[in-house]
Amino acid sequence: MSKKPLILVINDDGITAPGIRALIDVCNAIGDVVVVAPDSPQSGMGHAITINSTLFVEHITIDDGNQKEYSCSGTPADCVKLAVNEVLDRKPDLCVSGINHGSNASINVIYSGTMSAAIEAGIEGIPAIGFSLLDYNWNANFDAAKHFAKTIIINALKQGIPRGVVLNVNFPNLPKEDIKGIKVCRQARANWKEEFDKRKSPMGRDYYWLTGKFVNLDKGEDTDQWALENGYVSVVPIQFDLTAHHCIQLLNTWSLNE
């Protein structure tokens, strides 16, 4: 009898979020599951780690599933580090992060705690996937996302993910029957046009709320944004080696050693 794969489940919306509960349910049907997730929402934390304060990890029980669960006071990246170094007794076969409430397509991958957890796992040499649903509603319907997440997870375990690569998966906010399939894509070139809503506190001190508009600058039909806008699940392979290899030859033409 073959040994079940060990799957580490992380997120950034907090361990009680419906998205991670949906992902746990998917993973319980595939392997042995250990959850290490933040005890409170950590959206937009990016790859932050805790270095100037203490970290707490508590073994908890939320539902009657087969998984082992640990609530962590730190960031999503902290959760991975603690899982690997303190919680688990062996290296996971896969780390999955999410399912995030809201898009992590295009430039959002830079800011995402969900994807940073997956990237941290990748740095640790663990195959990893981040999952996100294009619905910020706490009570979003994750049925379609669960169906496609299971397909992707099973393929990742069977085929393997190349070392140094992490998968960024986004689901359109559509019923399963309206989703056309899964597309492997590149990251769309886009950015946020930020604005700050300036207000004044009762004590007379200025404060700001960050707002903004997502601007897609990419007209290509091979991008994650195009796939999502046209009813497909997007899968983007990303890497944490940030070297712009194509620029090395150009920089070597500079007069740097004169």
Mean pLDDT, to the nearest integer, of 10-24?
96
pLDDT at 224 > cutoff 70 = yes
Q: Domain-by-domain residue ranges, the chain?
A: 6-188+220-251
Mean pLDDT, to the nearest integer, of 175-204?
92
pLDDT at 153 > cutoff 80 = yes
Mean pLDDT, to the nearest integer, of 17-40?
96
**Cis upstream peptide for 119 (omega within 30°):** no
Structure tokens at 222: 């091979």
Q: What pLDDT, on a 0 to 100 scale, did the predictor assign at position 45? A: 80
Question: Which range has the worst mean pLDDT, 23-32, 74-83, 202-211?
Answer: 202-211
Structure tokens at 104: 């992590």
pLDDT at 195 > cutoff 60 = yes
Percent of the chain surpassing pLDDT 90: 83
Closest to 115 (Cα-Cα) out of 43, 172, 185, 57: 43
Distance CA 114, CA 47 (A): 9
pTM: 0.92
Mean pLDDT, to the nearest integer, of 220-231?
96
User: What mean pLDDT is reported for the chain?
Assistant: 94
Mean pLDDT, to the nearest integer, of 207-229?
90
Half-sphere exposure of 75 (CA within 13 A, CB side): 22
Torsion of CA 199, 202, 206, 210, to 10 degrees: -40
Q: What pLDDT, on a 0 to 100 scale, did the predictor assign at position 194? A: 82
Cα separations in angstroms, 86 against 31, 32, 72, 114: 21, 18, 12, 21
pLDDT at 175 > cutoff 80 = yes
Mean pLDDT, to the nearest integer, of 133-151?
97
Mean pLDDT, to the nearest integer, of 30-37?
97
pLDDT at 1 > cutoff 50 = no
Q: What pLDDT, on a 0 to 100 scale, did the predictor assign at position 25? A: 97
CATH class of 6-188+220-251: alpha beta
Closest to 88 (Cα-Cα) out of 2, 3, 5: 5
pLDDT tier, 212 (very low <50, low <70, confident <90, very high otherwise)? confident
Mean pLDDT, to the nearest integer, of 15-32?
97
pLDDT tier, 2 (very low <50, low <70, confident <90, very high otherwise)? low
pLDDT at 134 > cutoff 70 = yes
- Map residue 89 onto helix, strand or coil: coil
